[in-house]
Copies of this chain bind each other. A is one copy, B any other.
Amino acid sequence: MILTDSLLDFFLETRQTSEDLCKPLEIEDYVVQPIVDVSPPKWHLGHTTWFFEEFILKPHCANYQEFDADFSFVFNSYYETVGKRVVRSDRGNLSRPSVKKVYEYRAYVTNHIKTYFETNPAKELHDLLEIGIHHEKQHQELLLTDIKYILGNNPLLPEYSATFLDHPIETHQQEWIHMEEGIYGVGHATEDFCYDNELGRHKVYLHPYEISNKLVTNGEFTEFIIAGGYSQFDLWHAEGWDWVNQNKVVSPLYWHKIDGEWWHYTSSGLKMVDGNSPLTHISYYESFAFAQWKGCRLPTEFEWEAAQSYFPWGKRWEWTESAYLPYPNYQKAPGALGEYNGKFMVNQKVLRGGSVATPNNHTRPTYRNFFQPPLRWQFTGLRLVK
């Protein structure tokens, strides 16, 4: 159990970090939503604030005056339990509330939370506060990837930051780690914070496998492109093949071929693709096709978890072969918080690891991220198994 003081510090640091991430933005950048999966930055700032207001201040803080009654409608995301909401595809149509007003809303709610917890030594709401902090940290990652999409799809290709380097390099030699057949434990086991979908520590039986200690690189994927991987149907799932053809996909997201060379948009602007850097912004379909082409496969999420202590990870969210399903004895939380994870457990793939956009300490070996197979705007990557 985290003590109140450090929890409050954690809260305040988190609130500040979200705003720091937006420092390089023009006001206009806060507003747009180029695709449905990407939310406007001001929406992230408002929604994470609404979460504290809706689940802590309004139900538990006796004399709390709501900042603006309409904000509940504007900043609710998908919680059916708590009333109507702006449909997701409409977020980019809302010029108001203004960015200035959203920052006022943030300050107002942050202060009320601070005052409340300073004057309320009771521990009952610490869990709620903690989940709100983690919720905001998740949105910090989305802020970075959504901003990248907003700027990276603008014809002017503006830079986000000269110092946020989203293309690190793994310098170690590629090797295959041999994992023995047997029973392994998976799922969250400690007292630390985790989401409900990680709970229910349980046993799985794994057959022997070899897992790479290194992520697939841009260089390796370029060979796949040159070898015609995007036009060889037998490497792809049927729906992956349809996706390639309908969207005319010929490279990872953000890649541009200029005068015969591959460049890509990065958070620090348009750069030449570095063959040594780990591949990113690929769909599950592309990960699978690449693995097929190499005569390998993707790990299951259990294989990944069992082996993760033997290799460095955390630069890329890694696609696994596992579908996002409940663990045995999974129990979703009651009420609105129960809508957090469980209702998405169909037709999504599990990703393991973390990424350059993940806040410090916001991932762990048991963390289960999940996305639909075609999505590419996250810092996704892949690791091979054979």
Residues of A within 8 A of B (CB): 26-34, 42, 70, 73-74, 78, 80-81, 86, 90, 92-99, 150-151, 153-156, 158, 183, 202-205, 207, 209, 233-234, 236-241, 284-285, 288, 297, 321-323, 325-326, 328-329, 338-339, 343-347, 349, 373
Using A86-B155, A238-B344 as known contacts, say yes or no to A95 and B326 having CB atoms under 8 A apart. Answer: no
Using A78-B238, A346-B284 as known contacts, say yes or no to A31 and B33 having CB atoms under 8 A apart. Answer: no
Distance (Å) between the CB of A297 and the closest chain B CB? Answer: 8
A-B pairs with lowest CB-CB distance, top 5: A323-B323, A34-B93, A28-B95, A205-B205, A29-B95
Q: In the complex, are the beta carbons of A28 and B27 less than 8 A apart?
A: yes
Q: In the complex, are the beta carbons of A97 and B329 less than 8 A apart?
A: no
Using A30-B28, A239-B347 as known contacts, say yes or no to A73 and B234 having CB atoms under 8 A apart. Answer: no
Distance (Å) between the CB of A216 and the closest chain B CB? Answer: 19
Using A205-B203, A344-B237 as known contacts, say yes or no to A32 and B31 having CB atoms under 8 A apart. Answer: yes
Residues of B within 8 A of A233 (CB): 80
Q: In the complex, are the beta carbons of A238 and B343 less than 8 A apart?
A: yes
Q: In the complex, are the beta carbons of A32 and B203 less than 8 A apart?
A: no
Residues of B within 8 A of A373 (CB): 346-347
Number of copies: 4
Q: Point out the residue from B86, B150, B203, B240 that lies within 8 Å of A346, measured CB to CB.
A: B240
Which residue of chain B has the shortest Cβ distance to A323 in the bound complex?
A: B323
Residues of B within 8 A of A86 (CB): 155
Residues of B within 8 A of A297 (CB): 326
Which residue of chain B has the shortest Cβ distance to A238 in the bound complex?
A: B343
User: A42 CA to B32 CA in the complex, in Å?
Assistant: 13
Q: In the complex, are the beta carbons of A32 and B94 less than 8 A apart?
A: yes
Q: In the complex, are the beta carbons of B95 and A32 less than 8 A apart?
A: yes
Using A95-B28, A325-B321 as known contacts, say yes or no to A205 and B204 having CB atoms under 8 A apart. Answer: yes
